[in-house]
Amino acid sequence: MVDKEETGYLRSLMDFNFPAEGIDISEVESEEEIVKRFKTGAMSYGSISEEAHEALAIAMNHLHGKSNSGEGGESDERIASAGTKNDRSSAIKQVASGRFGVTSKYLVSAREIQIKMAQGAKPGEGGHLPAKKVYPWIAKTRHSTPGVSLISPPPHHDIYSIEDLAQLIYDLKSANKNARISVKLVSEAGVGTVAAGVAKAGAGVILISGYDGGTGAAPVSSIHNAGLPWELGLAEAHQTLRLNGLRGRVIIETDGKLMSGRDVAIAALLGAEEFGFATAPLVTLGCVMMRVCNLDTCPMGIATQNPELRKRFIGKPEYVENFMLFIARELREYMARLGFRTLDEMVGHVELLKKKDDLTEAESRIDLSRILATSVADDNEIDTPFDFELEKTIDESILLKDKKILAAIKSGSKAEKTVEIINTDRAFGTLLGAEITRKNPEGLPDDTITVNCIGAGGQSFGAFIPKGLTLKITGDSNDYFGKGLSGGKLIVSAPANAAYEAEENIIIGNVALYGATSGEAYIAGMAGERFCVRNSGAIAVVEGVGEHGCEYMTGGRAVILGPTGKNFAAGMSGGIAYVLDEDNHLYRNLNKDLVLMEKVESKADCQELKEILTKHLEYTDSVKAKKVLDNYEEYLPKFKKIIPADYKQLLHLISQYEEQGMSREKAQIEAFYASTASNIG
């Protein structure tokens, strides 16, 4: 049925130019080889249930294809199952705008890391997990708070340019040098130009996602009015990459309502080498397309976290496996008729597609000439993978060749090293951190390995570093400092002979501690804009921030010992910020939509703040911290506590249940049900 003209797909208007003679089907590569190119779509744990999510992962791992985690992290138990008979770990780990749950362990466990530049079902929009779907087990995986909604603006809100994207690709390659790096783009006019930039930036896979599909949580206006069919975007990307001599450098994948072997055959002829499926595998698991995914009321136990509804889940991994094998079987029949023995031979042979002859008058007016164009390849085609030159980094050439550091990674003995760095040393410490995680998934004891850096840190200094690694820098650092901090410790201070007052000067760049999940950062100086955006668990101290500080923060603590720029705490749904507001200007710059501004009065808050400041002074010799601590009672009234209203109410409920004798875990569950019943979030 999905191949009929009335489906309204562009591919429904196409037919094959079959040669006079094909080949015998026995000569075509096997179904088992073909399904290795198949993937399931990026549906996050949170949007669909644990049972559905794991069924997809088990099925694709069994077929040696790939399942996609979606944004939102993956549980430690599933990551630990990788390589076992019951492998429930997703091969593709997605890194999306929210950065929820992106840890060093998560990245190291991936076979492919996908950067979500846009959402297929709703391009130009961000994700949103309603409060009632943020159950405690979802919150744990996403490093957030139960019962508090999770907000992601569009991914391009965080990646402003191709340079930012190139840096993220480099960071992720450093975080797992064994993984392919994929970039998800949406089918839109001009996507070919973007794809060319992505290929030059070092991506190994480019996904062109069509507007069809999605779990039904997208607004109706988005489903019907945003994005384009994958046929358009795929053809444009393939042709543009060929014209720029870049086609041999990348693998192109496509998805968006692929439903049959015929669909896959057309996609391959238009230029795709790998293929994603989402709606159809969910249907095989029992989805009845109720389109209530965002309401947590899915009657089939798929797009819900409700334990009672999840009991209704009837799907099995075998159902997904059978579907994929059926698709491959039908595809082989087309390959035999077209004369191709392997999919590799088939890719890009658009001359074997044509417009159907028996179209209606309206259908015949649709011009497919640009899609079916046989573009001329550049004679200087690059067919070698992008070289990140990681072997030239300080991590690879010095740190990971140091015997004491290698011994520390293996046995947990202490090691210390001093190096000089310059601002072209990007993602410093990330390769070392990845090696620590590879050998010690839970990290090492604090300060096991300490690297003293002198000079200027480049982009993404200390990105994704795990527990046990401490990086100290005497000097300054560039943008994305501490990106995705995963338990490590970062310390920044100005040189002793600096000719400036550290507390009055910017010492680290923009977007520091972006998406940090745990760890500590102590910065004796000011930060640029967007400090601690999406922080979900790190403790960070800085002596002044630019605009948009603590934006979309979901957890952790931020201590600001100085002025803040405008729009502070916008979209902040968790965590606490303590701000030294000496001039009483904070109220002007605070985004008050979600947060409350209070005095620091409770004994616990006063104690927590003092302990953090004491560590800051100990690690950085901060003049500002010493001044505050020496006159703590005088300074305390000048501090403001910024806390999200929903988060505060959740903490209060959890505390109440704990006082009744409940464990922390049980108290969180009870607080979640109490809060969602009273419509918090």
CATH number of the domain bearing residue 458 = 2.160.20.60
Same domain? 514 vs 632: yes
Tokens representing 305 are 């976290």
Classify residue 346: in a domain, yes or no: no
Domain end, chosen from 284, 316, 348, is at 316
Those residues whose C-beta lies under 8 Å from the C-beta of residue 604, and which sit 6 or more positions away, are: none
Classify residue 395: in a domain, yes or no: yes
Same domain? 528 vs 441: yes
Domain end, chosen from 271, 297, 316, is at 316
Classify residue 577: in a domain, yes or no: yes
> How big is the chain, counted in residues?
681
Classify residue 72: in a domain, yes or no: yes
Residue 184 structural domain: 39-316
How much is the pLDDT for 223? Answer: 63
Same domain? 145 vs 283: yes
Intervals of the chain under pLDDT 50:
1, 5, 680-681
Classify residue 614: in a domain, yes or no: yes
How far apart (Å, rounded) are the C-alpha atoms in residues 120 and 135?
Answer: 25
Classify residue 375: in a domain, yes or no: no
Classify residue 450: in a domain, yes or no: yes
Number of domains in the chain: 2
How far apart (Å, rounded) are the C-alpha atoms in residues 532 and 540?
Answer: 8
How much is the pLDDT for 110? Answer: 97
Q: Are 56 and 74 in contact (CB under 8 A)?
A: no
Those residues whose C-beta lies under 8 Å from the C-beta of residue 208, and which sit 6 or more positions away, are: 185, 186, 187, 191, 195, 230, 233, 234, 237, 252, 253, 254, 272
Q: What is the pTM of this model?
A: 0.95
Task: Name residue, tokens 């031979």.
Answer: 345
How far apart (Å, rounded) are the C-alpha atoms in residues 182 and 113?
Answer: 6
Residue 21's CB is within 10 A of a number of other CB atoms, namely 7
How much is the pLDDT for 680? Answer: 43
How far apart (Å, rounded) are the C-alpha atoms in residues 433 and 269?
Answer: 42
Same domain? 260 vs 404: no
Classify residue 117: in a domain, yes or no: yes
How far apart (Å, rounded) are the C-alpha atoms in residues 42 and 220?
Answer: 20
How much is the pLDDT for 149? Answer: 80
How much is the pLDDT for 1? Answer: 47
